Structure 1
Amino acid sequence: MTYYIGLDVSVENTAICVIDATGHIEKEFSARCHPDNLATVLDPFSKMIGAIGLEAGPMSAFLADGLKQRGLDSVLMETRRDHAALSAVPVKTDRRDARGIAELLRMGWFQPVHLKIPVARDLRLMLSARDTLGRRVRELDNSVRGLVRGFGLRVPTGARGRFCDLVRDPIADNPVLEAAISPLLSARDAMAEEFTKLDKLVRDQSRNDDVCRRLMTIPGVGAVVAMTFRAAIDDPKRFRSSKSVGACFGLTSRRYQSGETDRVTSITKAGDASVRAALYEAAHVMLVRTNRWTPLKAWVMRVSARRCAKRAKIALARKLAVIMHRMWIDGTEFRTA
């Protein structure tokens, strides 16, 4: 007898459904959301397990690694496709979701998700922490600008390194304004200092990585963009074709065709948004700020003249994803001609 096990994961508990090859429910129960607890309750079925499935999510990598260390292989399932199937059920509960996941696993109606190695997850962790600090610094900058503007003070843009000094001097004569703004500036200084440290760590690690150094030979691709791409791809051989990388990160057009209707609309925006943003940023730098002339820049300039700058940047971002993946596979640097 072969069993298919669906896990519906939450923060505290995991709903579990065990079905056989015919779809008959063998057992439904729940357990604490930890590999030790899951391995214990699944042990009676360990010799007859066909597959264990769980949706990709914040805890999925931790649980999948833990189960594998305990001799239980699992499959991460793409959430959007699962949601389309599970949402057809009128009553939604964790128990029913676990049953639906087990059924999808048994029938093979799911899209497996690549489980990244710990090194790639560590790189992604550093990038996420850096982005979080950067966003918080910008949010505080904008908040302070808005607060002091009501008192007739304007902080010049483009002076991030001297931002606090430019604010402290004008507000020194207003006790109320100083009492309200000074804590924000202190918090902003502390976060900016930590951001600088983490940014340096990310850039140093990127420059010491062979793959990132090769990717950085492309005009417009810097240390952060290269590491973001490297952490997201993890294993370049998991893509059968370099052309599919752009679609993986949502840089291809969405299409709706039914009968006589056939519409091609904006990009799908599927996959990792941070990679999509990094590739778009690299495309913007190449198009606007890079003086080095290459056939790639000549191509995007023609697209920009024929369509518009935004579409040209999206097209270039998609092409950069293909080129960067191909360079990684071939172990080559960017050639200008």
Structure 2
Amino acid sequence: MDIHRSFAQVAILEDGNVTQQLRVDLVHGPLINFARTLSLEDEVVIEATGNTAAVERLMRPYVKRVAIANPRLVRAIAYARVKTDKIDATILARLHAAGFLPEVWAADEVTLTRRRQIAERMAILEQVVRIKSRIQAILHANLIPKYTGHLFGKAGRKWLDSLPLPDDERAMLGRLIIELERVSGHMAEIDKVLAQQTLDDPRAQRLMTIPGVSSIVASTVLASIGDVSRFPTAQKLSSYFGLTPKVRQSGDQPARHGRISKQGNSDARRMLVEAAWSAKTAPGPLRAFFHRVQVKRGAAAAAVATARKLAVMIWHILSREGEYIFARPAFTAMKLRKLALKAGAPREYGRAGPGRDYWIKEIRHKEMDYVERAERAYERMVEAWRDKPRKPAPG
């Protein structure tokens, strides 16, 4: 099925021959009627596009399986000299029959829901950033220095109201602030939903034991991964996030490694890089790794390298259903308690809550000392590795 916005061109392949070509309207009723004409022995091939999930969900009960083709890798269609809907549908059918169809994973309903929520949050976040940038542009255009505190808090709002601005720009600033409050309210609503999902998902809670990984990072990564068992190695997961370098090699020439591929889910990759910047400030082996790469390659490269390290850790944690080995239990409990409050849990005054240990100085310092010793052990290991003499070249 070559899918478009309002219809799909269908090529039916039997015993290596196209026996029928037809067009199906991509509306709920006509698509179901077409699916009922098929049997549980039939296999359907569609390309990954905006409405693929809906087509796959509706046709799944009526056929043996629905295969989703990776459009970037179906080069037979992308580079065809004669390209029509009928030819595209026929090529998809023949590639699948020959076993050469590059497929993508069909996400389950839970993963699809989480992906839609993350996509909505990223869109809202872009709106927030754009509005704040316009406010800053107004201040810059009127030679107003930067505010030292939180510009969009209560004190910052009062400071904005007192600024000497022209009437038209003051009115514009007021409209932008009203819009920012509206969009921020939407952000708070979806963050509340994601927080509750994190509290109900043991996988997300295990990921939050890693320094720098918040509930948003964990939710974004899990929405991108879905079922971790489809990645046989940690290297495959890193490649899926686009955090592995490009490689070019031909003939007798040595392999050349370039920048990261940036393939796969860009939102998850961005979240992992943000988590890497956050992990830089937390004591532990991750901070030591970040600093080691930073000295050699710079901070930006260190953030990307640490993001790849996080992807490897995530694969091991999800595959083995364990926790980060250098986790700080009190700190993690405090993170989960704050998350529960964001999800709407009541505040409990007068008695100790689950995150109380973090606010006990002795416990907090004991955990800090543990991870700092692990950080120093990593640094000593690196020094010993550098001092080791290299093996002589053969010949």
Q: TM-score range by the shorter chain?
A: 0.7 to 0.9
CA distance in structure 2 between the aligned counterparts of 1:198 and 1:166, rounded to whole angstroms: 29
Match of 1:33 among 26, 33, 38: 26
CA distance in structure 2 between the aligned counterparts of 1:128 and 1:41, rounded to whole angstroms: 31
Aligned to 1:258: 250
**Counterparts of residues 112-151 of structure 1 (less than 5 Å):** 112-151=103-142
- By how many angstroms is 1:43 displaced? 4.4
CA distance in structure 1 between the aligned counterparts of 2:29 and 2:228, rounded to whole angstroms: 32
Is this contact kept in 2: 1:145–1:154, CA < 8 A? no
- By how many angstroms is 1:269 displaced? 0.8
- By how many angstroms is 1:201 displaced? 2.7
Aligned to 1:248: 240
- By how many angstroms is 1:197 displaced? 2.5
- By how many angstroms is 1:261 displaced? 6.5
Letter in 2 for 1:126: Q
- After alignment, is 315-324 or 161-170 more displaced? 161-170
Cα distance change on mapping 1:166 and 1:38 into 2, 3 Å: same
Is this contact kept in 1: 2:212–2:276, CA < 8 A? yes
The reply to whether residue 80 of structure 1 matches residue 72 of structure 2 is yes
Aligned to 1:187: 179
Unpaired runs of 5+ residues, structure 1, are: 1-6
CA distance in structure 2 between the aligned counterparts of 1:165 and 1:133, rounded to whole angstroms: 25
Letter in 1 for 2:198: S
CA distance in structure 2 between the aligned counterparts of 1:185 and 1:96, rounded to whole angstroms: 53
- By how many angstroms is 1:270 displaced? 1.0
Letter in 1 for 2:274: E
Aligned to 2:307: 317
Aligned to 2:385: none
1:132-188 deviations in whole A, cap 9, x for unaligned?
A: 1111011011123223433333453753335554433326x6322233332222212
The reply to whether residue 303 of structure 1 matches residue 293 of structure 2 is yes
| Identity in percent | 24
CA distance in structure 2 between the aligned counterparts of 1:139 and 1:264, rounded to whole angstroms: 36
Is this contact kept in 1: 2:39–2:62, CA < 8 A? no
- By how many angstroms is 1:100 displaced? 2.0
- By how many angstroms is 1:19 displaced? 2.0
The reply to whether residue 219 of structure 1 matches residue 205 of structure 2 is no
CA distance in structure 2 between the aligned counterparts of 1:228 and 1:13, rounded to whole angstroms: 32
Is this contact kept in 2: 1:216–1:223, CA < 8 A? yes
- By how many angstroms is 1:311 displaced? 2.2
Aligned to 1:107: 98
- By how many angstroms is 1:39 displaced? 4.1
* SS of equivalent residue, structure 1 residue 321: helix
Unpaired runs of 5+ residues, structure 2, are: 327-373, 375-395
Letter in 1 for 2:107: K
1:19-69 deviations in whole A, cap 9, x for unaligned?
A: 2232x22111211114542343354453662x2111112211111111113
CA RMSD of aligned residues (A): 2.2
Letter in 2 for 1:254: K
* SS of equivalent residue, structure 2 residue 204: helix
Is this contact kept in 2: 1:164–1:189, CA < 8 A? no
The reply to whether residue 12 of structure 1 matches residue 2 of structure 2 is no
1:90-149 deviations in whole A, cap 9, x for unaligned?
A: 133323222221222122222221111111111222222122111101101112322343
Is this contact kept in 1: 2:44–2:63, CA < 8 A? no
* SS of equivalent residue, structure 1 residue 220: coil
Letter in 1 for 2:237: V
CA distance in structure 1 between the aligned counterparts of 2:152 and 2:96, rounded to whole angstroms: 51
CA distance in structure 2 between the aligned counterparts of 1:233 and 1:18, rounded to whole angstroms: 33
Letter in 1 for 2:182: A
Aligned to 1:4: none
Is this contact kept in 2: 1:53–1:74, CA < 8 A? yes
Aligned residues: 324
Is this contact kept in 2: 1:253–1:264, CA < 8 A? yes
Is this contact kept in 1: 2:40–2:63, CA < 8 A? no
- By how many angstroms is 1:334 displaced? 0.8
Match of 2:48 among 56, 70, 76: 56
Is this contact kept in 1: 2:238–2:308, CA < 8 A? yes
Cα distance change on mapping 1:166 and 1:131 into 2, 3 Å: farther
Please report the TM-score for the alignment, with normalisation by the length of structure 1.
0.88
Cα distance change on mapping 1:204 and 1:160 into 2, 3 Å: farther
